[in-house]
Structure 1
């Protein structure tokens, strides 16, 4: 589902098994400044914003609830893990945007084994 204005939220239950590293598990695709507005990656069990900022640690081998709120008009992104806000940043501009989750290899420092599991995925619009 594409969006270009308003406040949108992704919610899903995610699981990343031990051994998966250097993988993108969730993203907001497209932006006016780059190919993506948000990328969440797992490196050694830690969730990172791209490869820069640590959002949460020790996510291997457990189900966690991920919520991503994107206020397009306000230019803000918020990431929640298990109902607790862990990260906030400016977005990369408006565009024809959409949420993605799954397994996408990062450019470097990747493992040979990559997996993420997802259930109960919902998209909300305010």
Structure 2
């Protein structure tokens, strides 16, 4: 009598492989833009701020899709009537918000040596001038000058996502698709995103630079 072929071993292997694949899917981080809709941006949405007494091309360049922004510690502020620190920043206009859930996405690059520089922020708040400040100190990213957000960011491109849930009062920061930081916001206000280099009040390098590409804004899809 001929015995039927056994498929027990291959079947067991298939089950094991499927379970491993399922585990990978379960633990893989979700894309932070999932459930959001992109907001159309044009060059007119990207307003450039730089020291008021120098031409733009001496603090900013745009080549091959990369915005390069730099500033010096002894530069003037962006406005002759301002007492703020020097900056060269992209202020994203036309997508100001005061409610809902909004998201900034951009690929950033900070060269070794830049320190004490804000590279991204949410401007506006019920209490204070800003909701979020992300600064680079010696290659590490911090929330203002305090909580550590990410380490070892010098000389590499990284994907930055910032989600602001105004109604829920929360801000969440992702680096390369992984959540790194979350905090309560500072209340609603006239809000907008910025990126570039903005000198901190103290402990700054003389030269500060950041580069940005693929800047996008998203809004949470209405349920």
Work out whether the TM-score is over 0.5: yes
1:108 is the counterpart of 2:202: yes
Greater share of strand: 1
What is the aligned counterpart of 2:165 among 71, 75, 86? Answer: 71
The higher relative CO (CA closer than 8 Å, separation ≥ 6) is in: 1
**Aligned counterpart, 1:41:** 135
* CA–CA separation in structure 2 for the residues paired with 1:89 and 1:48: 12
Q: CA deviation at 1:21?
A: 0.1
What is the aligned counterpart of 1:83 among 158, 166, 177? Answer: 177
* CA–CA separation in structure 1 for the residues paired with 2:179 and 2:108: 16
3-state secondary structure, aligned to 1:116: strand
* CA–CA separation in structure 2 for the residues paired with 1:110 and 1:34: 22
TM-score normalised by L of structure 2: 0.56
What is the aligned counterpart of 1:23 among 114, 117, 120? Answer: 117
Uncovered stretches (5+) of structure 2, i.e. residues with no partner: 1-94
- The alignment covers a number of residue pairs equal to 126
Q: CA deviation at 1:57?
A: 0.4
* CA–CA separation in structure 2 for the residues paired with 1:87 and 1:19: 24
Q: CA deviation at 1:113?
A: 1.1
**Aligned counterpart, 1:50:** 144
What is the Cα-based RMSD across aligned positions, in Å? 0.3
TM-score normalised by L of structure 1: 0.99
| The structure with more radius of gyration | 2
**Aligned counterpart, 1:124:** 218
**Aligned counterpart, 2:153:** 59
Q: Which runs of 4+ in 1 moved over 2 A?
A: none
* CA–CA separation in structure 2 for the residues paired with 1:56 and 1:35: 24
